[in-house]
Amino acid sequence: MVKKRILVLGGGFAGVDCTRKLERYFQSNYDIEITLVSDDNFLLFTPMLPQVASGIITPRHIVMPLRALCEKARIYESAVRDIDPTGRHVTLEGTPEKRGVRIHYDYLIIALGSETNFFGLKNVEKYSFTMKTLADALSLRNRIIDMLEQAENETNEELKQRLLTFVVVGGGFAGVETAGEVNDFLHDALNYYHNIKADDINVVIIEALSGILPGFNEKLIEYAHNKLEKNGIKILLNTVVSDFDGTNVITNKSTNPTTKSETIIPSHTLVWAAGITPVEIIKSSVFKTKKGQIITNEFLEVENFSGIFAIGDCSRFNDTINKNYPPTAQLAEAHAKLAAYNIKQMINGNEKKKFEYNWKGQSAIIGKRSGIADAMGRKVTGFLAWLIWINYYLSKMPNFEKRLRVWLDWNIDLFFRRDISRYGFKRNILKEYQELDEVDDVW
Ligand SMILES: Cc1cc2nc3c(=O)[nH]c(=O)nc-3n(C[C@H](O)[C@H](O)[C@H](O)COP(=O)(O)OP(=O)(O)OC[C@H]3O[C@@H](n4cnc5c(N)ncnc54)[C@H](O)[C@@H]3O)c2cc1C
C-alpha cells in the first residue's frame, strides 16, 4: 500500500476527537501517517472555563496534553499560516525560535475552531475581558479579586459601585455560565471583605435577543431567567452594547436601533461573550465560506476539494442540503467521528457516509449549584440539572486523571471557603483605573 498522510489542523474538541478516532482505525497500519497541528500543546475543556474564572477548578485540571491524548500521531505545536488545497500542503508559521515547516497531505481535516467576535467594536475589543482561553479565565479571576480589593477601601460610593459592577455581554452558554460563576464567587468572597455588602454587588447580563439561552425549551429558559434574577443577577434583554471605554458601558435597545436610547452602566469590567467568528486563516482562505465558516457537503467535505474536510465551529453545512446546528462541543464531536470514518472509507475504497446528527440534549449551569437540562426529552431544573451537567461533562473528559482532579475540586469546594489569592501576573490593560489620579489622603 502507498503511504497516506492525514493532516489534522486544530487541537480542540473536533481536531482531537478526529485524531483519536483515526489512531484507532489505523492503530497497526504503518502506511498511514497521522499528523496533528495546534498552536497550543493541550486540549482545553472550554465548558469548565467559567469555573476556573471563579476559582472552583484549578486551571491545569481542565487542560490535557495532546501528546497524552494522541499517542500515534506526530504533533506540531505551531500556528498554521497558510493552507494550500491545490498544492495539498500546509505551511506552519516560522518565528525566531521556531522553524517554519511545510507539511504535505493526502487528506486534510480543518478543525481550527473560532475566535471572539467583537462585531467591529474596537473599544470593546480593547478593554473587555473574554472567555475563550485559559488565560482569559485567569485574567477575569484576577480582575474580580482586584476590584474587590479596591472596593473594600473605597470611600467614594459612586466609585465603589462602579468597581463592583460586572457586565457580561451575551446570554448564550458562555455568558450565562460566566455570569453565574462570577456572581457566586463575588458573594462567597464577601467573607473576607467586611466593607462590602451583598447589595453592593451588581452582576448584569446583556443580551441582544428577547431571551437568554436560545435553543433551550421555553420553560427551562424561564426557570433559568428567574433563578438568575433571584440570585441577584440583572438581565437586560433586547439590549446591545455599542461602546465601552474601560469605565462606562454604553448600551442601546436592539429592538429599535434607529432611536437613540442610550443607557450608561458605570463599570470597569465588561466580559464579552457575545459571539464567535472563525479564525482569520479561514476567513482569508480560498474555501467557500458563509459567515466566515467553511461550507461543506453532507459528507463534511469541503465543496470542490475531495479529501479535505472541515469540522467543528469553523464549518457549516451547505444550507440547501441540511439543517445548521449551533456550534457546540457535542456537534464538534459528532463531526469528528464522521470525518475520521469517511477518511477510512476513502482509503479503503469504500462508500462515505452522510452526516446525521443525533442530538442528545443540552444542559447549562446557572450558579449556586443549579442548572437546566434537556436530557433525552426530559426537562430538568435545579440541583438535579446541575448534577446532570457535571456528570455529563466529567464523562466527556478524555483523561481519567483530570476527571478525578476536577471531581475532587468540586467536592473540596463544598467544604472550604473560596481562595481569593490573585495569581501573580497582571493583564496588560491599556487604560486602567484612572480616577485614582486624585490620591485621597485617607491615612
Ligand atoms: C466559555 C465557553 C463555554 C462553553 N460551554 C459549552 C457547553 O457547555 N457545551 C457545549 O457543547 N459547548 C460549549 N462551548 C462551545 C465549545 O467549546 C465549542 O463549540 C467547541 O470547542 C468547538 O470545537 P472546535 O474543535 O471546533 O474548536 P476549538 O475547541 O476552538 O478548537 C480549535 C483549535 O484550533 C487551534 N487553532 C486555532 N487557530 C489555529 C492556527 N492558526 N494554527 C494552529 N492551531 C490553531 C486552537 O488553539 C484550538 O486548539 C463553550 C465555549 C466556551 C468558550
Give the tens place of pLDDT for each residue, 173-207.
Answer: 899 999 999 999 999 999 999 999 999 999 999 99
By alpha-carbon position, which residue is closest to atom 31 of ligand 1? 12
The mean pLDDT value for 420-432 works out to 66
Share of the chain above pLDDT 90, in %: 77
How high does pLDDT run on average in the chain? 91
**255, 274, 293 — which closes off a domain?**
274
Residues 92 and 198 in one domain: no
Does residue 321 sit within a domain?
yes
Residue nearest to atom 15 of ligand 1 (CA): 328
| Predicted local confidence at residue 441, as pLDDT | 46
Tell me what pLDDT residue 259 has: 65
Report the separation in Å between the CA atom of 431 and the middle of ligand 1, taken as the mean of its atom positions: 29
The DSSP bridge partners found for residue 241 are: 251
Q: How far is the CA of 15 from the centre of ligand 1 (A)?
A: 10
Q: pLDDT class for 284, splitting at 50, 70, 90? A: confident
Residues 225, 214: one domain? yes
* Whether residues 220 and 329 fall in one domain: no
Domain boundary among 274, 307, 334: 274
- Residue whose CA is at the smallest distance from ligand 1 atom 8: 47
Calculate how far, in angstroms, residue 99's C-alpha sits from the geometric centre of ligand 1: 26
111 CA → ligand 1 middle, Å:
9
Instruction: Give the mutation target among 309, 328, 396 for probing the ligand 1 site: most ligand atoms within 8 A of CB.
Output: 328
Measured from the CA of 15, which atom of ligand 1 is nearest? 25
The pLDDT-based confidence of 436 (bands split at 50, 70, 90) is: very low
Q: How far apart are CA 185 and CA 187, in angstroms?
A: 6
Q: What is the pLDDT of residue 246?
A: 94
Distance (Å, rounded) from C-alpha 161 to C-alpha 196?
A: 10
* Rounded average pLDDT over 65-86: 95
Does residue 364 form part of some domain?
no
Give pLDDT, residue 399.
Answer: 86
Say yes or no to pLDDT of 291 above 50: yes
Res 438 pLDDT > 50: no
Q: How far apart are CA 240 and CA 265, in angstroms?
A: 12
Number of domains comprising the chain: 2
Does the beta carbon of 363 lie inside 6 Å of ligand 1? no
Out of 109-113, 260-264, 301-305, 334-338, which region has the weakest mean confidence (pLDDT)? 260-264
pLDDT at 431 over 90: no
Instruction: Tell me if 381 is assigned to some domain.
Output: no
Residue 171 lies in a domain: yes
- Indicate which CATH number applies to the domain containing 204: 3.50.50.100
Q: Could you list the residue range(s) of the whole structural domain that residue 249 is in?
A: 122-274
The answer to whether residues 281 and 270 belong to one domain is no
Ligand 1 pocket check for 63: Cβ under 6 Å: no
Backbone dihedral angles phi then psi of residue 189, each to the nearest 5 degrees: -75, -15
**CA-closest candidate to residue 86, choices 61, 64, 108, 57:** 108
What backbone torsions phi and psi does residue 88 show, to the nearest 5 degrees?
Answer: 50, 55
Report pLDDT for 2: 78
Q: Is the CB of 18 under 6 A from ligand 1?
A: no
Q: How far apart are CA 168 and CA 244, in angstroms?
A: 12
* Long-range Cβ pairs for the range 83-87 (8 Å, 24+): 83/9, 83/108, 83/110, 83/281, 83/285, 85/286, 85/287, 85/302, 85/305, 85/308
pLDDT (mean) for 405-429: 83
Do 256 and 162 share a domain, yes or no? Answer: yes
Identify the pLDDT of residue 320: 60
Give the residue-averaged pLDDT of 316-333: 77
- The Å distance, Cα 199 to ligand 1 centre, comes to 36
Q: Which atom of ligand 1 is nearest to the CA of 112?
A: 34
Cβ(90) – ligand 1 distance below 6 Å? no
For residue 401, tell me if it sits in a domain: no
113 lines ligand 1 (CB under 6 A): yes
Distance CA 433, CA 275 (A): 27
Whether 97 maps to a domain, the answer reads yes
C-alpha span between 418 and 185 (Å, rounded): 7
Inform me whether the pLDDT recorded for 429 exceeds 60. Answer: no
CA–CA separation, 367 and 225 (whole Å): 12
Q: Are residues 175 and 258 in the same domain?
A: yes
Name the band, by pLDDT with cuts 50, 70 and 90, for residue 255: confident
Residue 432 lies in a domain: no
Domain boundary among 226, 241, 274: 274
| Predicted pLDDT at 95 | 79
Ligand 1 centroid – CA 254 distance (Å): 28
pLDDT of 275 over the 90 cut = no
Give percent above pLDDT 70 in the chain. 93
Q: Which atom belonging to ligand 1 lies closest to the Cα atom of 279?
A: 38
How far, in Å, is the centroid of ligand 1 from the Cα of 86? 27
Give pLDDT tens digits for 116-154. Answer: 999 999 999 999 999 999 999 999 999 999 999 999 999
User: What average pLDDT score do residues 392-416 get?
Assistant: 92
Query: Is there a single domain that holds both residue 85 and residue 224?
Result: no
Residue 311 lies in a domain: yes
Cβ(313) to ligand 1 under 6 A?
Answer: yes
Strands of the sheet with 101-104, listed across from one edge:
80-84, 89-92, 101-104
R_g (Cα) of the chain, nearest Å:
23
212 and 152 co-located in one domain: yes
Which residue has a Cα nearest atom 27 of ligand 1?
113
114 CA from centroid of ligand 1 (Å): 6
Residue 213 region by backbone torsions, left for phi larger than 0, else alpha for psi between -120 and 50, else beta? left
pLDDT of residue 97: 77
The CATH number for 33's domain is 3.50.50.60
Do 149 and 250 reside in the same domain of the chain? yes
**Would the CB of 51 count as within 6 Å of ligand 1?**
no
Do residue 171 and residue 200 come from a single domain? yes
Residues 197 and 263 placed together within one structural domain of the fold: yes
268 shares a domain with 282:
no
Which of 21, 36, 46, 78, when mutated, tests ligand 1's pocket best, judged by the most ligand atoms within 8 Å of its CB? Answer: 46
| Residue 124 Cβ < 6 Å to ligand 1 | no
Q: Does ligand 1 lie within 6 Å of residue 170's CB atom?
A: no
- Which protein residue's CA is at the shortest distance from atom 32 of ligand 1? 113
Q: Is the CB of 366 under 6 A from ligand 1?
A: no
